[in-house]
Structure 1
Amino acid sequence: MSRGFGPSPRRHTHAVRVGNVTLGGAAPVVVQSMTNTDTADIKATTQQVAELWRAGSELVRITVNTPAAAAAVPKIADRLAMIGASVPLIGDFHYNGHQLLAAEPACAEALAKYRINPGNVGFGKKRDSQFASIVELAARHGKAVRIGANWGSLDQELATRLMDENAALAEPWDAGRVLREALIRSALDSAERAVAIGLPANAIVLSAKVSGVQELIAVYRELATRSNFALHLGLTEAGMGSKGIVASSAALAVLLQEGIGDTIRISLTPEPGQSRCAEVIVAQELLQTLGLRAFTPLVTACPGCGRTTSEFFQQLAQRVQSHVRERMPEWKMRYPGAENLTLAVMGCVVNGPGESRHANIGISLPGTGEAPAAP
């Protein structure tokens, strides 16, 4: 028997409150992004966070790697509040998060969520105490935590132990499967440890990122089967341009269609000088294309062929798309539901009239040698 039309029902997860945003539970899939400024540069970071927020990012992660960066966080939060940018900030910590959060209580309070990497939160005998320090601070301040494992910084002690255990099996797994299991175990074991320390399950988000599409799908399917924690989806080091967009969309679309995932980030490497907002737009368009959320009217346009030798319809489609996205913040307030509209800009008589009939607003232009006619 074939499955019904549309995506699978969303997987049931704990609802996690991150500032004024809820992810998981029955909440819509949340779009998030990350800055690439030096967080100690308060002006530049505030500007980029605001830009990402205006583009539609509902959560923004910032690097917190030095005392200067930690000291800047509350000032950035204050400046964002002054301009009305009510976007929760996530602190991205590696290696020294326990020290920075303890030394800068205002930073710990200003952040809505902390990201911990179990592969580098500490090493050897220090690992457990440093992990516990961050978790205890999060619980004390009422903050959420993302436990984000990554195969580029995997816990080597865990990976080695699983490799040794696997080698002793009568039918050992291949190396790739062992590494996937190590990534999953790193996230799940850390989450269980956090709960034991005192962090509620509804304050924990998990991620386990890899850069391969099939590996990511396999890892998250397993995570979804083995826990009810909210899941952050993202393909790490996806790459630049069309490659990064295609790879991220291919992986995340499969998981989202299966009801897996509570928040997403498209990790695109921007061109030099390019805005970071591209990753926000791709994330929104992915969710809207799958029918999971609506952010802005969708513009349907034909690709062009020998019947459309003029570039006018291409220019018109581009202008319509840009105009819609620029005006959407205003329209969202004045015209509720505008984000659900469909617009069509078609270039000739073959599919133009029919496609225009399916749209709320349709423009069907005459192709080369065709007489203008209303659909």
Structure 2
Amino acid sequence: MIVRRETRKIHVGGVPIGGGSPIAVQSMTNTDTRDIEATVTQIERLQDAGCEIVRVAVLNQDAATAIRSIRDKIAIPLIADIHFDHRLAVAAMENGAQGIRINPGNLGGPEKLARVVAAAKNHKVPIRVGVNSGSIEKDLLKEFGYPCAEKPDALIESAMRNVRLLEEQGFEEIKISIKSSDTLTAISGYQQLSKLTDYPLHLGVTEAGGLIAGTVKSSVALGILLYQGIGDTFRISLTRDPVEEIRVCFELLRSLKIRERGPELISCPTCGRTQIDLFSIAEEVERYVQTMTKQIKVAVMGCVVNGPGEAKEADIGLAGGNGVGIIFKKGVLYKKVKEEDLLETFLAELKKIEGL
């Protein structure tokens, strides 16, 4: 049984973070934030996949201004990602950002940070102190060395130093992240940080890679931490369509029995008995079930003879071969169709289940 670490509760828009709240799933757009239509379209796709908080890059004043129009068109809280320029942080909040991600130490000194904190207090916006291995202060690197699994001290002290800067301004609506591209450093760093503070933690492995490498690295690090009860929000960072990140997030949560959203998809790895294009069919079914909310088990099997028996625990499944396709429920034949009609018929059955 997973016992969650006790943390303070903050809110990003209407989403509670920490304090026993459900672990929130985040992602970040890869569109130009100034392109309002493209950014909203991507966020809507993320919403449909289950994303609960979204972050956008704010590179200049036009991007900060665009936040107002974007927020008016989306249904989930929006976080502005700011680097170096305190004016952009203030402008983003004035235009409706419901959270900001900054590194307080690189905003230009106490006076500029004070303006950001004043705006955060005024607009009731929490701040994520976001530190990664590439942004650590030179004096900390000199003192502790580059962070590694055996000694992530520089990463941790950088985060806590920046947290103290906010606390000195009387601000405590804080979330912390310390990201590394190294899996073991991320694990060790978050484990140690969790013992030093009760602020909620945002988990992530930065620059994790593409679909395969990124999924494996992130799932190993975050899976271990989540199993240990560490983490209040998280993002799976992939060099892919960000919608893929959300799919991996929920599969990770499902595998740990922390949260479930929509169907669980099981599919056979194929073998010499497979006589249909199972890869394509499985991909289409997987894409569709990501839009569903009913918590059912869906099976995609390659063999008409063994498939239903191997997936008899599935609420609904398909199998095919030799020109024939079958749809089964709990291992029992439900419907037989032509092989070329199998996918379309199966998706129609899934829509019925979803009530569409």
Q: How far does residue 312 in structure 1 lie from its aligned partner after superposition?
A: 4.6
Alignment partners' CA distance in 1, 2:278 and 2:38 = 38
Higher RCO (C-alpha 8 Å, min separation 6): 1
1:88 and 2:77 are equivalent in the alignment:
yes
Alignment match, 1:322: 287
CA drift at 1:75: 2.1
> How many aligned residue pairs are there?
327
Deviations 1:263-313 (A, max 9, x none): 11111112xxxx3311121112221222111111011111012233x1254
Distance 2:62 2:153 in 1: 37
- Taking structure 2 as the reference length, the TM-score comes to 0.83
Structure 2 CA distance for partners of 1:269 and 1:312, relative to 1, 3 Å: closer
Q: Matched residues, percent identical? A: 40
Query: Which residues in structure 2 correspond to 1:300-319 (within 5 Å)?
Result: 300-308=266-274, 310-319=275-284
Contact kept, 8 Å, 1:299 with 1:317, in 2: the verdict is no
Structure 1 segment 127-276 matched on structure 2, within 5 A: 128-162=110-144, 176=148, 180-200=152-172, 203-270=173-240, 275-276=241-242
Are 1:64 and 2:62 matched, yes or no?
no
CA distance in 2, matches of 1:208, 1:152: 11
Counterpart Cα distance in 1 of 2:286 and 2:88: 44
Q: CA deviation at 1:22?
A: 1.0
The Cα shift of 1:175 comes to 6.8
Contact 2:131 2:178 in 1 (8 A): yes
Amino acid at match of 2:62: A
Distance between the aligned counterparts of 2:88 and 2:284, measured in 1? 47
In structure 1, runs of 5+ residues without a counterpart are 1-5, 164-173, 333-337
Q: Is the 8 A contact 1:299 1:343 kept in 2?
A: yes
Residue of structure 2 aligned with 1:47, choices 41, 49, 69: 41
Gaps of 5+ in 2: 333-356
> Residues 132-191 of structure 1: CA distance to partner in whole angstroms, max 9, x if unpaired?
33223212221111001111111223332445xxxxxxxxxx973686211111112322
Aligned AA for 1:76? I
Shift of 1:323: 3.1
CA gap of 1:37–1:313, structure 2 versus 1, over 3 A, is: closer
Paired residues of 1:118 and 1:186 also in contact (CA < 8 A): no
1:27-69 CA-partner distances (Å, limit 9, x unpaired): 1111111112222222222222222222221111011121111
Counterpart of 1:139, as a letter, is K
Q: Partner residue of 2:24?
A: 30
Query: Would you say the 8 A contact 1:109–1:141 is kept in 2?
Result: no
Task: Give the TM-score, by structure 1 length.
Answer: 0.79
Q: Pairwise CA RMSD of aligned residues?
A: 2.7
Letter in 1 for 2:128: R
Alignment partner, residue 352 of structure 2: none
Deviation at 1:218, TM superposition (A): 0.3
8 Å CA contact 2:247, 2:290 repeated in 1: no
Indicate the residue corresponding to 1:14 in structure 2: 8
The match for 1:293 is 259
